[in-house]
Structure 1
Amino acid sequence: MQIDILWLRKWFDTFNQQYFDGGLPTPRFHIGHSRTQLGTLSYKRKRGLMRTSLYDFALGMSNYYDQSEHQFQSVLLHEMIHLSIAASGLTDTAPHGVVFRGMMSRLNREGWHIHVTTSTRGMQKAYTGSERVIGQYLVLAIELADGRHFLSSVSPRHARALNERVQQAGEVRQAAWYTTSDPWFADMPKVRSLRGRRVSAEVFANKTARMKPIAF
Protein backbone atom coordinates (compact mmCIF):
# COMPACT_ATOMS: atom_id res chain seq x y z
CA MET A 1 0.00 0.00 0.00
CA GLN A 2 0.88 3.66 0.00
CA ILE A 3 -0.16 6.54 2.23
CA ASP A 4 -1.51 10.05 1.86
CA ILE A 5 -1.60 13.19 3.97
CA LEU A 6 -4.95 12.23 5.50
CA TRP A 7 -3.50 8.90 6.64
CA LEU A 8 -0.49 10.68 8.10
CA ARG A 9 -2.59 13.21 10.01
CA LYS A 10 -4.95 10.54 11.31
CA TRP A 11 -2.28 8.20 12.68
CA PHE A 12 -0.15 11.03 14.05
CA ASP A 13 -3.11 12.27 16.10
CA THR A 14 -3.96 8.71 17.20
CA PHE A 15 -0.42 7.84 18.30
CA ASN A 16 0.07 11.26 19.89
CA GLN A 17 -2.83 10.57 22.23
CA GLN A 18 -2.08 6.87 22.70
CA TYR A 19 1.65 6.98 23.38
CA PHE A 20 2.65 10.62 24.01
CA ASP A 21 -0.27 11.90 26.14
CA GLY A 22 -1.20 14.33 23.37
CA GLY A 23 1.88 16.40 24.12
CA LEU A 24 3.58 16.46 20.73
CA PRO A 25 3.30 19.61 18.62
CA THR A 26 1.66 19.01 15.26
CA PRO A 27 4.34 19.29 12.57
CA ARG A 28 4.02 20.11 8.91
CA PHE A 29 3.48 16.88 6.99
CA HIS A 30 4.82 15.95 3.60
CA ILE A 31 5.11 12.76 1.56
CA GLY A 32 7.99 12.21 -0.83
CA HIS A 33 9.63 9.41 -2.78
CA SER A 34 13.05 9.03 -1.20
CA ARG A 35 14.82 5.76 -1.93
CA THR A 36 17.09 5.95 1.10
CA GLN A 37 15.02 7.56 3.89
CA LEU A 38 11.69 6.05 4.86
CA GLY A 39 11.01 8.89 7.29
CA THR A 40 12.48 12.27 8.22
CA LEU A 41 12.07 14.92 10.90
CA SER A 42 13.40 18.43 10.43
CA TYR A 43 13.16 21.66 12.40
CA LYS A 44 14.62 25.12 12.83
CA ARG A 45 16.70 26.39 15.73
CA LYS A 46 16.27 29.64 17.64
CA ARG A 47 19.24 30.54 19.78
CA GLY A 48 18.52 32.51 22.94
CA LEU A 49 20.69 33.89 25.69
CA MET A 50 20.44 30.81 27.91
CA ARG A 51 19.15 28.05 25.64
CA THR A 52 18.39 27.01 22.08
CA SER A 53 14.78 26.22 21.24
CA LEU A 54 13.51 24.18 18.31
CA TYR A 55 10.46 25.07 16.21
CA ASP A 56 8.78 24.66 12.80
CA PHE A 57 8.87 20.87 12.87
CA ALA A 58 8.29 18.99 9.60
CA LEU A 59 7.66 15.25 9.43
CA GLY A 60 8.04 13.48 6.11
CA MET A 61 7.59 9.92 4.91
CA SER A 62 8.48 8.18 1.67
CA ASN A 63 6.04 6.47 -0.67
CA TYR A 64 8.80 5.03 -2.83
CA TYR A 65 8.37 1.47 -1.51
CA ASP A 66 5.29 -0.71 -1.28
CA GLN A 67 4.94 -1.27 2.47
CA SER A 68 2.27 -2.67 4.74
CA GLU A 69 0.31 -0.32 6.97
CA HIS A 70 2.12 -1.73 10.01
CA GLN A 71 5.47 -0.88 8.43
CA PHE A 72 4.37 2.67 7.64
CA GLN A 73 3.05 3.07 11.18
CA SER A 74 6.34 1.86 12.66
CA VAL A 75 8.24 4.40 10.55
CA LEU A 76 5.87 7.13 11.71
CA LEU A 77 6.42 6.17 15.35
CA HIS A 78 10.19 6.28 14.79
CA GLU A 79 9.91 9.91 13.67
CA MET A 80 7.49 10.73 16.49
CA ILE A 81 10.11 9.56 19.00
CA HIS A 82 12.55 12.02 17.44
CA LEU A 83 9.88 14.73 17.65
CA SER A 84 9.20 13.94 21.30
CA ILE A 85 12.87 14.24 22.21
CA ALA A 86 13.39 17.43 20.19
CA ALA A 87 10.21 19.20 21.34
CA SER A 88 10.81 18.41 25.01
CA GLY A 89 14.36 19.76 24.94
CA LEU A 90 15.91 16.47 26.07
CA THR A 91 19.55 15.81 25.26
CA ASP A 92 20.27 12.31 24.01
CA THR A 93 23.66 10.62 23.88
CA ALA A 94 23.41 10.32 20.05
CA PRO A 95 20.77 10.73 17.32
CA HIS A 96 19.59 7.23 18.26
CA GLY A 97 21.00 7.23 21.76
CA VAL A 98 19.89 5.99 25.14
CA VAL A 99 16.71 8.08 25.30
CA PHE A 100 15.63 7.13 21.80
CA ARG A 101 16.31 3.43 22.30
CA GLY A 102 14.44 3.39 25.60
CA MET A 103 11.32 4.88 24.00
CA MET A 104 11.71 2.57 21.00
CA SER A 105 11.87 -0.51 23.23
CA ARG A 106 8.75 0.58 25.12
CA LEU A 107 6.76 0.96 21.90
CA ASN A 108 8.09 -2.27 20.44
CA ARG A 109 6.73 -4.08 23.49
CA GLU A 110 3.34 -2.86 22.27
CA GLY A 111 3.82 -4.85 19.07
CA TRP A 112 5.54 -2.34 16.79
CA HIS A 113 8.68 -2.97 14.75
CA ILE A 114 10.64 0.25 15.14
CA HIS A 115 14.33 0.10 14.22
CA VAL A 116 17.25 2.46 14.55
CA THR A 117 17.90 2.00 10.84
CA THR A 118 15.94 0.04 8.24
CA SER A 119 17.63 -1.48 5.21
CA THR A 120 15.73 -0.91 1.97
CA ARG A 121 17.55 -3.77 0.24
CA GLY A 122 15.03 -6.17 -1.20
CA MET A 123 12.06 -3.82 -0.66
CA GLN A 124 9.70 -3.61 -3.62
CA LYS A 125 9.27 -0.29 -5.37
CA ALA A 126 5.66 0.87 -5.40
CA TYR A 127 3.94 0.32 -8.71
CA THR A 128 2.30 3.65 -9.46
CA GLY A 129 -0.20 2.08 -11.83
CA SER A 130 -1.68 -0.06 -9.09
CA GLU A 131 -5.08 0.68 -7.61
CA ARG A 132 -3.40 0.36 -4.21
CA VAL A 133 -1.42 3.55 -4.87
CA ILE A 134 -3.20 6.67 -3.69
CA GLY A 135 -2.88 9.77 -5.84
CA GLN A 136 -3.58 12.41 -3.23
CA TYR A 137 -3.73 16.14 -3.89
CA LEU A 138 -3.88 19.07 -1.51
CA VAL A 139 -6.20 21.65 -3.06
CA LEU A 140 -6.75 25.32 -2.32
CA ALA A 141 -10.11 26.62 -3.58
CA ILE A 142 -10.41 30.39 -3.86
CA GLU A 143 -13.30 32.67 -4.75
CA LEU A 144 -12.32 36.27 -5.44
CA ALA A 145 -14.37 39.34 -4.65
CA ASP A 146 -14.99 39.91 -8.38
CA GLY A 147 -16.62 36.46 -8.70
CA ARG A 148 -13.75 34.56 -10.30
CA HIS A 149 -12.97 31.04 -9.05
CA PHE A 150 -9.61 29.27 -8.88
CA LEU A 151 -8.43 25.77 -7.92
CA SER A 152 -4.79 25.09 -7.05
CA SER A 153 -2.92 21.86 -6.39
CA VAL A 154 -0.55 22.92 -3.61
CA SER A 155 2.80 21.55 -2.50
CA PRO A 156 2.11 20.36 1.08
CA ARG A 157 5.49 21.66 2.21
CA HIS A 158 4.45 25.22 1.33
CA ALA A 159 0.80 25.03 2.35
CA ARG A 160 1.15 26.77 5.72
CA ALA A 161 2.94 29.80 4.26
CA LEU A 162 0.47 29.95 1.39
CA ASN A 163 -2.46 29.81 3.81
CA GLU A 164 -1.07 32.85 5.64
CA ARG A 165 -0.80 34.75 2.36
CA VAL A 166 -4.39 33.90 1.47
CA GLN A 167 -5.65 35.24 4.80
CA GLN A 168 -3.94 38.56 4.08
CA ALA A 169 -5.15 38.91 0.48
CA GLY A 170 -7.88 41.53 0.39
CA GLU A 171 -9.29 40.44 -2.96
CA VAL A 172 -10.11 36.95 -1.67
CA ARG A 173 -13.77 36.58 -0.72
CA GLN A 174 -13.36 33.06 0.65
CA ALA A 175 -10.79 30.28 0.58
CA ALA A 176 -10.90 26.66 1.69
CA TRP A 177 -8.53 23.69 1.77
CA TYR A 178 -9.34 20.17 0.60
CA THR A 179 -7.76 16.82 -0.16
CA THR A 180 -8.80 14.66 -3.06
CA SER A 181 -7.71 11.74 -5.22
CA ASP A 182 -9.51 13.17 -8.27
CA PRO A 183 -7.24 12.54 -11.31
CA TRP A 184 -8.46 15.89 -12.72
CA PHE A 185 -5.65 17.44 -10.66
CA ALA A 186 -2.95 15.05 -11.92
CA ASP A 187 -1.69 17.34 -14.68
CA MET A 188 -1.62 20.44 -12.49
CA PRO A 189 1.73 21.54 -11.01
CA LYS A 190 1.97 21.56 -7.22
CA VAL A 191 2.25 25.29 -6.67
CA ARG A 192 4.22 27.16 -4.03
CA SER A 193 2.63 30.56 -4.66
CA LEU A 194 -0.84 32.05 -5.13
CA ARG A 195 -1.64 30.80 -8.59
CA GLY A 196 -4.06 28.24 -9.91
CA ARG A 197 -6.46 27.23 -12.66
CA ARG A 198 -9.41 29.50 -13.27
CA VAL A 199 -12.66 27.52 -13.47
CA SER A 200 -16.34 28.29 -13.86
CA ALA A 201 -18.55 28.62 -10.81
CA GLU A 202 -20.22 25.34 -11.83
CA VAL A 203 -16.93 23.40 -12.00
CA PHE A 204 -15.81 25.03 -8.75
CA ALA A 205 -18.97 23.93 -6.94
CA ASN A 206 -18.85 20.42 -8.44
CA LYS A 207 -15.20 19.79 -7.55
CA THR A 208 -15.31 21.19 -4.01
CA ALA A 209 -18.46 19.21 -3.23
CA ARG A 210 -16.61 15.98 -3.98
CA MET A 211 -13.46 16.77 -1.96
CA LYS A 212 -12.69 16.33 1.72
CA PRO A 213 -12.30 19.64 3.57
CA ILE A 214 -9.41 20.09 5.97
CA ALA A 215 -8.48 22.88 8.39
CA PHE A 216 -5.13 24.43 9.24
Structure 2
Amino acid sequence: MKANIKFVTEKFNVFNRQIFANELPMLPIRIGHARTSLGGLACNKKTNLFGKTQYYNFRMIISDSIDLPQEELEDIIIHEMIHYFIAYKQIQDTSAHGKLFMKMMNDINKRFGRHISVSRRQTASELDTTYTLPPKPRYICITELADGRTGITIAPKTRIFQLWKTMPQLFKTKSCRWFYTTSPYFGRYPTCLKPKIYIVEKEELQKHLQGAVPLKNDGHTISAES
Protein backbone atom coordinates (compact mmCIF):
# COMPACT_ATOMS: atom_id res chain seq x y z
CA MET A 1 0.00 0.00 0.00
CA LYS A 2 1.01 3.63 -0.41
CA ALA A 3 1.04 6.10 2.44
CA ASN A 4 -1.79 8.59 2.86
CA ILE A 5 -2.67 11.10 5.57
CA LYS A 6 -5.61 9.08 6.95
CA PHE A 7 -3.59 5.87 7.33
CA VAL A 8 -0.51 7.53 8.84
CA THR A 9 -2.64 9.54 11.30
CA GLU A 10 -4.60 6.48 12.41
CA LYS A 11 -1.45 4.42 12.87
CA PHE A 12 0.26 7.26 14.74
CA ASN A 13 -2.59 7.24 17.25
CA VAL A 14 -2.56 3.44 17.56
CA PHE A 15 1.21 3.20 18.08
CA ASN A 16 1.25 6.21 20.38
CA ARG A 17 -1.19 4.37 22.64
CA GLN A 18 0.35 0.89 22.31
CA ILE A 19 4.07 1.70 22.32
CA PHE A 20 4.64 5.25 23.59
CA ALA A 21 2.06 5.40 26.44
CA ASN A 22 0.26 8.32 24.73
CA GLU A 23 3.18 10.61 25.52
CA LEU A 24 3.52 12.05 22.01
CA PRO A 25 1.28 14.97 21.00
CA MET A 26 -0.16 14.77 17.51
CA LEU A 27 2.06 16.62 15.04
CA PRO A 28 1.57 17.84 11.46
CA ILE A 29 1.89 14.92 9.02
CA ARG A 30 2.82 15.42 5.38
CA ILE A 31 2.95 12.94 2.52
CA GLY A 32 6.10 13.34 0.46
CA HIS A 33 7.26 11.74 -2.76
CA ALA A 34 10.97 11.04 -2.18
CA ARG A 35 12.39 7.63 -3.07
CA THR A 36 15.69 8.04 -1.25
CA SER A 37 14.06 8.61 2.14
CA LEU A 38 10.68 7.00 2.88
CA GLY A 39 10.26 8.73 6.23
CA GLY A 40 11.55 11.77 8.04
CA LEU A 41 11.06 13.90 11.13
CA ALA A 42 11.65 17.64 10.78
CA CYS A 43 11.82 20.18 13.57
CA ASN A 44 13.26 23.53 14.53
CA LYS A 45 15.87 23.92 17.20
CA LYS A 46 17.35 26.68 19.31
CA THR A 47 20.12 26.94 21.86
CA ASN A 48 19.35 28.55 25.21
CA LEU A 49 21.66 30.73 27.30
CA PHE A 50 23.16 27.65 28.94
CA GLY A 51 24.16 26.11 25.61
CA LYS A 52 21.46 23.42 25.64
CA THR A 53 19.70 22.67 22.36
CA GLN A 54 15.90 22.59 22.46
CA TYR A 55 13.73 21.04 19.74
CA TYR A 56 10.26 22.26 18.78
CA ASN A 57 7.77 22.61 15.89
CA PHE A 58 7.88 18.92 14.92
CA ARG A 59 6.63 17.61 11.54
CA MET A 60 6.55 14.07 10.16
CA ILE A 61 6.99 13.27 6.47
CA ILE A 62 6.13 9.83 5.04
CA SER A 63 6.75 9.11 1.36
CA ASP A 64 4.11 7.58 -0.93
CA SER A 65 6.63 6.89 -3.72
CA ILE A 66 6.75 3.09 -3.23
CA ASP A 67 3.92 0.59 -2.84
CA LEU A 68 4.88 -1.24 0.37
CA PRO A 69 3.43 -4.07 2.45
CA GLN A 70 1.33 -2.52 5.22
CA GLU A 71 3.57 -3.91 7.97
CA GLU A 72 6.67 -2.32 6.40
CA LEU A 73 4.92 1.04 6.10
CA GLU A 74 3.91 0.78 9.77
CA ASP A 75 7.54 0.10 10.72
CA ILE A 76 8.59 3.29 8.91
CA ILE A 77 6.01 5.27 10.89
CA ILE A 78 7.23 3.78 14.20
CA HIS A 79 10.84 4.52 13.18
CA GLU A 80 9.98 8.21 12.85
CA MET A 81 8.00 8.11 16.09
CA ILE A 82 11.14 6.93 17.92
CA HIS A 83 12.98 9.96 16.54
CA TYR A 84 10.04 12.12 17.64
CA PHE A 85 10.02 10.63 21.15
CA ILE A 86 13.74 11.28 21.68
CA ALA A 87 13.57 14.84 20.33
CA TYR A 88 10.25 15.71 22.06
CA LYS A 89 11.67 14.55 25.39
CA GLN A 90 14.74 16.72 24.69
CA ILE A 91 17.04 13.72 25.19
CA GLN A 92 20.57 13.90 23.80
CA ASP A 93 21.47 10.74 21.87
CA THR A 94 24.96 9.86 20.63
CA SER A 95 23.91 10.36 16.98
CA ALA A 96 20.80 10.33 14.78
CA HIS A 97 20.64 6.54 15.17
CA GLY A 98 22.63 6.44 18.37
CA LYS A 99 22.62 4.18 21.41
CA LEU A 100 19.22 5.33 22.71
CA PHE A 101 17.55 5.05 19.32
CA MET A 102 18.95 1.54 18.79
CA LYS A 103 17.89 0.44 22.27
CA MET A 104 14.33 1.70 21.76
CA MET A 105 14.16 0.17 18.27
CA ASN A 106 15.36 -3.24 19.47
CA ASP A 107 13.03 -3.20 22.49
CA ILE A 108 10.02 -2.38 20.30
CA ASN A 109 10.95 -5.06 17.77
CA LYS A 110 11.17 -7.64 20.57
CA ARG A 111 8.07 -6.60 22.51
CA PHE A 112 5.74 -6.00 19.57
CA GLY A 113 7.11 -8.34 16.90
CA ARG A 114 8.12 -5.48 14.61
CA HIS A 115 10.96 -5.36 12.09
CA ILE A 116 12.04 -1.73 12.38
CA SER A 117 15.50 -1.03 10.98
CA VAL A 118 17.82 1.95 10.63
CA SER A 119 17.53 1.97 6.84
CA ARG A 120 15.48 0.14 4.25
CA ARG A 121 17.10 -1.90 1.48
CA GLN A 122 15.47 -1.15 -1.87
CA THR A 123 14.62 -3.88 -4.35
CA ALA A 124 16.33 -3.98 -7.73
CA SER A 125 13.20 -2.75 -9.49
CA GLU A 126 12.88 0.19 -7.12
CA LEU A 127 16.52 1.11 -7.65
CA ASP A 128 16.05 0.97 -11.42
CA THR A 129 13.11 3.35 -11.15
CA THR A 130 15.05 5.65 -8.86
CA TYR A 131 17.95 5.97 -11.24
CA THR A 132 15.69 6.91 -14.16
CA LEU A 133 14.83 10.14 -12.37
CA PRO A 134 16.69 13.15 -13.82
CA PRO A 135 19.60 14.13 -11.53
CA LYS A 136 19.39 17.53 -9.90
CA PRO A 137 22.66 19.44 -9.46
CA ARG A 138 23.37 20.81 -5.99
CA TYR A 139 26.09 22.92 -4.44
CA ILE A 140 26.83 21.77 -0.91
CA CYS A 141 29.09 22.90 1.90
CA ILE A 142 30.45 20.26 4.26
CA THR A 143 31.35 21.87 7.59
CA GLU A 144 33.53 20.28 10.26
CA LEU A 145 32.55 21.98 13.51
CA ALA A 146 34.94 22.65 16.35
CA ASP A 147 33.00 20.25 18.61
CA GLY A 148 33.60 17.36 16.22
CA ARG A 149 30.19 17.30 14.55
CA THR A 150 29.69 17.41 10.79
CA GLY A 151 27.05 19.48 9.03
CA ILE A 152 25.87 20.23 5.52
CA THR A 153 24.45 23.31 3.84
CA ILE A 154 22.69 23.20 0.46
CA ALA A 155 23.24 26.50 -1.34
CA PRO A 156 21.37 27.99 -4.31
CA LYS A 157 23.72 28.96 -7.11
CA THR A 158 22.97 32.65 -6.58
CA ARG A 159 24.11 32.55 -2.92
CA ILE A 160 27.30 30.49 -3.14
CA PHE A 161 29.72 33.42 -2.92
CA GLN A 162 27.88 34.95 0.04
CA LEU A 163 27.59 31.67 1.97
CA TRP A 164 31.17 30.66 1.13
CA LYS A 165 32.36 33.84 2.84
CA THR A 166 30.01 33.97 5.82
CA MET A 167 29.79 30.31 6.91
CA PRO A 168 33.25 30.20 8.57
CA GLN A 169 32.60 33.57 10.21
CA LEU A 170 29.29 32.65 11.85
CA PHE A 171 30.06 29.15 13.11
CA LYS A 172 32.94 27.67 15.10
CA THR A 173 34.40 25.57 12.32
CA LYS A 174 37.50 23.52 11.66
CA SER A 175 36.90 23.55 7.92
CA CYS A 176 34.32 24.27 5.23
CA ARG A 177 34.58 22.29 1.99
CA TRP A 178 32.37 22.83 -1.04
CA PHE A 179 31.19 20.26 -3.58
CA TYR A 180 29.03 19.91 -6.67
CA THR A 181 26.89 16.76 -6.68
CA THR A 182 23.84 15.22 -8.32
CA SER A 183 23.28 12.59 -5.61
CA PRO A 184 19.54 12.38 -4.75
CA TYR A 185 20.49 11.86 -1.07
CA PHE A 186 20.88 15.61 -0.61
CA GLY A 187 17.32 16.27 -1.80
CA ARG A 188 16.09 15.56 1.74
CA TYR A 189 17.65 18.82 2.98
CA PRO A 190 16.22 22.26 2.20
CA THR A 191 18.11 24.85 0.19
CA CYS A 192 19.46 27.59 2.46
CA LEU A 193 19.21 31.26 1.55
CA LYS A 194 20.92 32.18 4.83
CA PRO A 195 23.76 30.46 6.71
CA LYS A 196 22.39 27.29 8.29
CA ILE A 197 23.95 23.92 9.07
CA TYR A 198 22.17 20.56 9.24
CA ILE A 199 24.01 18.06 11.42
CA VAL A 200 24.56 14.67 9.76
CA GLU A 201 26.28 11.39 10.51
CA LYS A 202 29.75 11.56 8.99
CA GLU A 203 29.86 7.91 7.94
CA GLU A 204 26.51 8.16 6.16
CA LEU A 205 27.54 11.40 4.46
CA GLN A 206 30.76 9.95 3.07
CA LYS A 207 28.84 7.24 1.23
CA HIS A 208 26.84 9.84 -0.68
CA LEU A 209 29.80 12.10 -1.44
CA GLN A 210 31.27 9.51 -3.79
CA GLY A 211 31.52 11.13 -7.21
CA ALA A 212 31.00 14.65 -5.84
CA VAL A 213 33.26 17.31 -7.39
CA PRO A 214 35.33 19.44 -4.96
CA LEU A 215 35.03 23.16 -5.69
CA LYS A 216 37.38 26.12 -5.36
CA ASN A 217 36.67 29.85 -5.17
CA ASP A 218 39.14 32.43 -6.49
CA GLY A 219 36.91 35.34 -5.49
CA HIS A 220 35.48 35.75 -8.97
CA THR A 221 34.47 32.28 -10.14
CA ILE A 222 33.54 28.92 -8.64
CA SER A 223 35.18 26.02 -10.43
CA ALA A 224 36.20 22.40 -9.96
CA GLU A 225 39.44 21.76 -8.17
CA SER A 226 42.11 20.62 -10.59
Could you say which residue in structure 2 is the equivalent of 1:113? 115
Instruction: Give 4+ residue runs of structure 1 displaced > 4 Å after superposition.
Output: none
Matched, 1:14 2:35: no
Give the CA RMSD over aligned residues: 1.5
SS in 2 for 1:20: coil
State the one-letter code of the partner of 1:118.
Answer: R
Taking a change above 3 Å as real, the CA distance of residues 123 and 33 of structure 1, as seen in their structure-2 partners, is farther
1:42-99 Cα distance to aligned partner (Å, 9 max, x none) = 1001222133211110101111111011010000000000001111111111111110
Matched, 1:100 2:101: yes
TM-score w.r.t. length of structure 2: 0.53
Could you say which residue in structure 2 is the equivalent of 1:31? 31
Aligned length: 125
State the one-letter code of the partner of 2:103.
Answer: G
In 2, the alpha carbon distance for the partners of 1:26 and 1:83 equals 11
SS in 2 for 1:56: strand
In 1, the alpha carbon distance for the partners of 2:95 and 2:125 equals 28
Could you say which residue in structure 1 is the equivalent of 2:40? 40
1:8-45 Cα distance to aligned partner (Å, 9 max, x none) = 11110111111111111222100111110010001001
Q: Which has the higher contact order (CA 8 A, sep 6+)?
A: 1
Could you say which residue in structure 1 is the equivalent of 2:86? 85
SS in 1 for 2:66: coil
Q: CA deviation at 1:123?
A: 5.5
Q: Structure 2 matches for 1:128-139, cutoff 5 A?
A: none
Unaligned runs of 5+ in 1: 126-216
Q: Structure 2 matches for 1:47-62, cutoff 5 A?
A: 47-50=47-50, 51-62=52-63
SS in 1 for 2:19: helix
